[in-house]
Amino acid sequence: MARPHIMFIQAQHLPWRKGLHGNGRDDVDVKQLSIDDKNGAATCIVRFPAGWEATALEHLGCDEEFLVLDGSFTVSGQEYSKHSYAFLPAGFPRERASSPHGAVLLAMYHGHPTLHTGPAQRGFREDRLVRFVDPLSMEWDAGLVDPQLAPGVAIKPLREDPETGEVSFLYCSPPHRVPPGMAKPQWTHPMVEELYCLEGEYVWGDCGRMGPGGYAWWREDVYHGPAGTDTGYHLFVRTIGGPLVNHFDDEKKPFTWEPEYRPQLPADLMQYAAAYDRPPNY
């Protein structure tokens, strides 16, 4: 089946397991956030231990997209550190990979992440390759944000697919972004929106407070919100099935800073559902 709607779960509550699905690496730890049981496409948190190394020439049989959450690692001579981003198309040659001090990645596989030794017979799509992006060297761009959204938010673009228009980007908001009159419409999209909270807190009036590690696979035509933030937030966002389009409802709904955690999750994730518990800052 296609990936079910997920809104939302805190990754901290999910268990670590050994190895990627689809005969992937058995020497890494994995938290599986979502998966398509039909084609193996999945989003995972992948943890490489200190001293990890792969010396053989390899390639993956599917596209891989990743953002480094912690630590650093090197692939084919390119080093990736915290919040570095890449999109490596199926068949991209991995001549050598290593992580001397360990690394944790938010990794998105566009199919079964099956490893193959040697070069790919058909090469790879160079027009889809995003070898390396360092967001820390980029400026935030408020001009890329949907004008229907509240002022103050901004984007750092990471990728746009040349065929589908799908996008990946970082998205930030300052604190104290309050819906006018504590009421705001819910909204949805004609495509899937995937969210991962890197820092800060995102308050969803209908389903709870999302903190760092919060994850959502927001399916098409499902309404959520209203939303706001008292702390500010920093998100990784990806669209699947087309460019980002927002559809807002006509009706405004009341907003609260203390919504009950009411997740919408498949059964395999519901057993791990727990509200975000903000640690003290003093």
Q: What mean pLDDT is reported for the chain?
A: 93
pLDDT over threshold 60, residue 14: yes
* Domain positions in the chain: 12-136, 137-270
Q: Supply the pLDDT for residue 149.
A: 66
For domain 12-136, give the CATH number. Answer: 2.60.120.10
pLDDT over threshold 80, residue 148: no
Question: In CATH terms, are 12-136 and 137-270 the same topology?
Answer: yes
Q: Supply the pLDDT for residue 136.
A: 95
Instruction: For residue 170, report the phi and psi dihedrals to the nearest 5 degrees.
Output: -95, 145
State the architecture of 137-270 in CATH terms. Answer: Sandwich (2.60)
Residues 52, 30: Cα–Cα separation, whole Å: 15
pTM of full prediction above 0.85: yes
Residues 224, 210: Cα–Cα separation, whole Å: 13
- 3-state secondary structure labels for all residues of the chain: CCCCCEEEEEHHHCCCEECCCCCCCCCCEEEEEEECCCCCCEEEEEEECCCEEECCCEEECCCEEEEEEEECEEECCEEECCCCEEEECCCCCECCEEECCCEEEEEEECCCCCEEECCCCCCCCHHHCEEEECHHHCCCEHHHCCCCCCCCCEEEEEEECCCCCCEEEEEEECCCECCHHHEEEEEECCCEEEEEEEEECEEECCCEEECCCEEEEECCCCCECCEEECCCEEEEEEEECCCCCCEEEEEEEECCCCCCCCCECCHHHHCCCCCCCCCCCC
* pLDDT (tens digit per residue) in 31-52: 999 999 999 999 999 999 999 9
